[in-house]
Amino acid sequence: MGQIDYQEWAANKNFHVGYTLVFNYNDQFHNVKQVTHQGYESCNATSPAATYTNGSDTVTLEKLGHFYFICGYPGHCLSGQKIDILVASAASNLSPAPSPKSSERSSASHLYLISMAAVYQVGESAGWTSMGQIDYQEWAANKNFHVGDTLVFNYNNQFHNLKQVTHERYESCNATSPIATYSNGSDTVALEKLGHLCFVCGYPGHCLAGQKIDVLVAPAASNLSPAPPPQSSEPSSASYLYLTNLSWTLSVLLAFCLSGFAY
Ligand SMILES: [Cu+2]
């Protein structure tokens, strides 16, 4: 249920021997385990073939076949933090490779950057709405948000929108002069820095009815365990449901073809 389908991503690539994967992630909350196909399918991270915990791990694809990677933290693989990389022989270039002239020789210098972070699906099936059963503040209080994570707001943009506002305007449900306005209906908000991010719906009455959320982005080192912090001191005025959707934002951003570059 993640925003990013690792398998779809991988399916569009031609991996060859010598290519390199770089996994970037917050090592307080994730790791990378290379497992067997069975381990991959069953999300079983015990007895991994290799374990990476650095947070910026380089894995070279040294042979043909499948390479299976999962996150070893409880529940993460099950929620989609897993990837199956098939390393094919250079000859099996089925699809139009974006690098036509790169032969085996140059293929050894391909680098795939994989950054992993948490994606929080706001509202799950309910989405960002004013008619839910879930308390946004309670939901947020149970999460540890970190820089690099992503919030996804899904809603019917005929009836709602999303405004990032100051904390003061959040408190008073004043959506004027927003810091940012989203009205797409499927809005992705990257958590790019520490501190509070406050959002309200700008439609009349919705914020007052509880369609508002205050997300605190904390330093990575702060809370190790995802233990529900009993810090939900704020009265929960909201009545919405947010569910987490922890998945690797394996937003493999780029495939650098470094062939031809001189070191
Ligand atoms: Cu609304």
Ligand 1 centre from 95 Cα, in Å? 44
Q: What is the CA(246)–ligand 1 centre distance, in A?
A: 25
CATH number for the domain formed by residue range(s) 6-117+248-257 = 2.60.40.420
pLDDT band at 120 (very low <50, low <70, confident <90, very high): confident
Mark the residues whose beta carbon lies below 5 A from ion ligand 1: 130, 160, 201, 203, 206, 211
Q: Provide the pLDDT confidence category of residue 98 given band limits of 50, 70 and 90.
A: very low
The answer to whether residue 174 scores a pLDDT higher than 50 is: yes
Report the pLDDT value the prediction gives residue 177, as an integer from 0 to 100. Answer: 95
Q: What's the 205 CA to ligand 1 centre distance in angstroms?
A: 8
Instruction: With cut-offs at 50, 70 and 90, classify the pLDDT of residue 127.
Output: confident
Q: What's the CA gap between 192 and 147, in Å, rounded?
A: 5
Architecture of domain 119-218: Sandwich (2.60)
The 10s digit of each residue's pLDDT in 202-226 is 999 999 988 999 999 887 543 333 3
Terminal Cα-to-Cα distance of the chain (whole angstroms):
41
Provide the mean pLDDT of the chain: 73
Residue 23's pLDDT is what?
84
The boundaries of every CATH 2.60.40.420 domain in the chain are: 6-117+248-257, 119-218
Give φ, ψ of 10 to 5 degrees: -65, -35
> What distance in Å separates the CA atoms of residue 173 and residue 168, rounded to the nearest whole number?
8
Tokens standing for 244? Answer: 């987490």
3-class secondary structure, 60: strand
Average the pLDDT over 84-108 and give the result: 54
Q: Could you tell me if 128 and 122 are in contact, meaning their C-beta atoms sit under 8 angstroms apart?
A: yes
190 CA to middle of ligand 1, Å?
21
pLDDT band of 143, cuts 50, 70, 90: confident
CA 207 / ligand 1 centre spacing (Å): 7
